[in-house]
């Protein structure tokens, strides 16, 4: 039997995006696969009074089980109330690649889905996205489409170089598909290695600075579809303290470079109203767990390393909401 997101206490993105675009901030879209990640996201967003988008990839559904994840989202809305401040919670499918997957999520309590047709031809992308929109809108579910391809890994699809979004396509795409938001490609990419050191320059403090995002493309897109909600994927900043901690405690991360936070703040002030962050959370968790493993080799209670990992995640998300996305106090 189908389960509506409304019965789980979730909301779609419509009102949230409208307020975010008008208010010059972005809603955090944090990925989760397990209990500790969900706890950290919810605690951080309640404490900063921020709306939140809980993102589930198809990999996450395979890893954690779709039924369990759905019921965790149901628990999330109850837990939020218990924490004392009722923030809006969206359950979103990240990088849906087929109509069937999107339909399954819509039928199982998701309030928002992404159909990522960016690896198809333009016309095929439109056809697939339109089909998802028709089904989703009949159920009050929001849809995110994508134009342009990000470099890096998107689930099983690997793109060597990014293909920037072509501004001249956006108006036609939005009109013909009926999507509620559009993910664009302006130089971000997935994962912890977004740029090579060779692509970067050094500032006066000796810090590596990546090539700037294509804000000109974002501006051109905004001109063509004023006020339309834009989404930025691949927006982890790859905090160097986390990378250093991982490597200090036996890790081997090389050339991990992310998107400077000032650029994300700049994007959030524009029509970018949803910013996707996954890798930073992975790094924060891994750093905390590695530290415990090395410093306390006798420890074997998972709560003793997952607990610190959760605390570290929560601190990271609070920082993002307050200092980067500007979503704090917007719930
Ligand atoms: O964009 C991809 C997200 O970071 C999800 O990654 O497919 O490994 O769960 P995943
Ligand atoms: P990061 O890998 O930069 O965290 O991007 C996550 C993302 O875009 C999820 O869809
Ligand atoms: Zn993504």
Question: Does 282 contact ligand 1 (Cβ within 6 A)?
Answer: no
Which ligand 2 atom lies nearest to the CA of residue 152?
2
Closest atom, ligand 2, to C-alpha of 233: 8
Query: Cα of 231 to ligand 2 centre, how many Å?
Result: 11
Q: What CATH number did the domain enclosing 98 receive?
A: 3.20.20.70
Residue 330 maps to a domain:
no
Q: pLDDT 10s per residue in the chain (331 long)?
A: 899 999 999 999 999 999 999 999 999 999 999 999 999 999 999 999 999 999 999 999 999 998 998 899 899 999 999 999 999 999 999 999 999 999 999 999 999 999 999 999 999 999 999 999 999 999 999 999 999 999 775 545 556 677 999 999 999 999 999 999 999 999 999 999 999 999 999 999 888 899 999 999 999 999 999 999 999 999 999 999 999 999 999 999 999 999 999 999 999 999 999 999 999 999 999 999 999 999 999 999 999 999 999 999 999 999 999 999 999 999 9
Residue nearest atom 5 in ligand 2 by C-alpha distance = 234
Query: Ligand nearest 60 Cα, by number?
Result: 1
The encoded tokens of residue 166 equal 């072509």
Cα–Cα dist 330/186, whole Å? 26
Contact 148, 113 (CB under 8 A): no
Please, are residues 285 and 312 in contact by the beta-carbon 8 Å criterion?
A: yes
Tell me whether residue 331 is in a domain: no
Whole-angstrom distance, CA of residue 76 vs CA of residue 300: 28
From the list 235, 243, 241, the residue with the least C-alpha distance to 191 is: 235
How many domains is the chain partitioned into structurally? 1
**Cα–Cα distance, 175 to 37 (Å, whole number):** 36
Question: Is 57 within a domain?
Answer: yes
With respect to residue 160, please indicate whether it lies within any of the assigned structural domains: yes
With respect to residue 126, please indicate whether it lies within any of the assigned structural domains.
yes
Give every CB contact of residue 77 below 8 A, 6+ residues apart in sequence.
8, 9, 10, 89
Catalytic site residue from 7, 86, 94, 116: 94
Task: Kindly state the greatest CA–CA separation across the chain.
Answer: 61
- Domain housing 299: 5-325
Query: Which DSSP state fits 211?
Result: P
* Residue owning the nearest CA to atom 1 of ligand 1: 154
| Ion ligand 3: protein residues whose beta carbon lies under 5 Å | 233, 276
The helix or strand, by DSSP H or E, that contains position 145, with its residue range, turns out to be strand 142-147
Write out the two tokens for 147: 């134009």
80 close to 42: Cβ distance less than 8 angstroms: yes
Establish whether 216 is a catalytic residue.
Answer: no
- Let me know if residue 31 belongs to a domain: yes
* In a domain? residue 50: yes
């Amino acid at each position: 039997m189908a389960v509506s997101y409304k019965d789980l206490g979730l909301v779609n993105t419509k009102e949230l995006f409208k307020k975010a675009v008008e208010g010059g901030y972005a809603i955090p879209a944090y990925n989760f696969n397990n209990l500790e990640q969900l706890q950290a996201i919810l605690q951080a967003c309640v404490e900063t009074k921020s709306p939140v988008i809980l993102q589930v990839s198809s990999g996450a559904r395979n890893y954690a089980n779709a039924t369990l994840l759905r019921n965790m989202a149901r628990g999330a809305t109850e837990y939020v109330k218990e924490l004392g401040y009722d923030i809006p919670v969206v359950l979103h499918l990240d990088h849906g690649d087929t109509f069937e997957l999107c339909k399954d999520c819509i039928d199982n309590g998701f309030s928002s889905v992404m159909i990522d047709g960016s690896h198809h031809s333009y016309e095929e992308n439109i056809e697939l996205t339109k089909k998802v929109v028709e089904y989703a809108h009949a159920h009050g579910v929001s849809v995110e489409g994508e134009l342009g391809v990000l470099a890096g890994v998107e689930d099983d699809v690997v793109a060597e170089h990014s293909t920037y979004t072509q501004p001249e396509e956006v108006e036609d795409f939005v009109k013909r598909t009926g999507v509620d938001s559009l993910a664009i490609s302006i130089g971000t990419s997935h994962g912890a290695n977004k740029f090579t050191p060779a692509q970067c320059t050094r500032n006066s403090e000796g810090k590596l600075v990546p090539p700037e995002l294509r804000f000109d493309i974002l501006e051109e897109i905004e001109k063509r579809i004023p006020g339309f909600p834009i989404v930025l994927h691949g927006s982890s900043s790859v905090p160097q303290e986390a990378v250093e901690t991982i490597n200090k405690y036996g890790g081997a991360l090389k050339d991990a470079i992310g998107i400077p936070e000032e650029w994300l703040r700049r994007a959030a002030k524009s029509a970018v109203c949803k910013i996707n962050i996954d890798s930073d959370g992975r790094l924060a968790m891994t750093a905390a767990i590695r530290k415990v493993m090395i410093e306390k080799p006798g420890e074997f209670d998972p709560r003793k390393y997952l607990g610190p990992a959760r605390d570290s995640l929560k601190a990271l998300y609070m920082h993002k909401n307050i200092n980067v996305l500007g979503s704090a106090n917007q719930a």
